[in-house]
Amino acid sequence: MTEVKFRGDLGANSDSLFKALSDGTRRALLEYLVREGEQNVVALTAVAGVSQPMVSRHMGKLKRAGLVTARRTGRETWFAARTKGLGPVVQWMAIYGALWSQRFTPMEHAGD
């Protein structure tokens, strides 16, 4: 089977990005970091509603997707949202948002 490259295809890295964002807990953790700034795992666990090992696992996936950065201070790991991490998603949405808008506009006016 031949793989077709589309204009909006952002490559293999975008797959990990979309997979990371597919989980509600990860989206909530990322949103919390965006709103509140850098947090350690203890603080993230307190707001996540899941265990510390699960938070660490989620944060690892967000880090691999390029959505957060991590730094160690002693025994603590601190995470921060990576501001450019969502760039590929925004780019993809802009391309496909315009495409779908072009497709739906004629359909919406077809009954006029």
SS3 76: strand
Q: What is the per-residue pLDDT across 32-42, written as a single tens digit (0 to 9) for each?
A: 999 999 999 99
Residue 1 lies in a domain: no
Taking the CA atoms of 82, 84, 85 and 90 in sequence, report the sign of the dihedral they define: positive
Number of structural domains the chain divides into: 1
pTM: 0.74
Which CATH number covers residue 18? Answer: 1.10.10.10
Residue 57 lies in a domain: yes
CA 68 to chain centre: 9
Residue 4 lies in a domain: no
Both tokens assigned to 112: 């006029």
Residue 8 lies in a domain: no
Q: What is the per-residue pLDDT across 18-77, written as a single tens digit (0 to 9) for each?
A: 899 999 999 999 999 999 999 999 999 999 999 999 999 999 999 999 999 999 999 999
User: What stretches of the chain show up as alpha helix (H) in DSSP?
Assistant: 12-21, 24-36, 41-48, 52-64, 87-108
Structural domain that includes position 68: 13-108
Residue 26 lies in a domain: yes
For residue 108, how many C-alpha atoms fall within 13 Å in the half-sphere facing its CB? Answer: 6
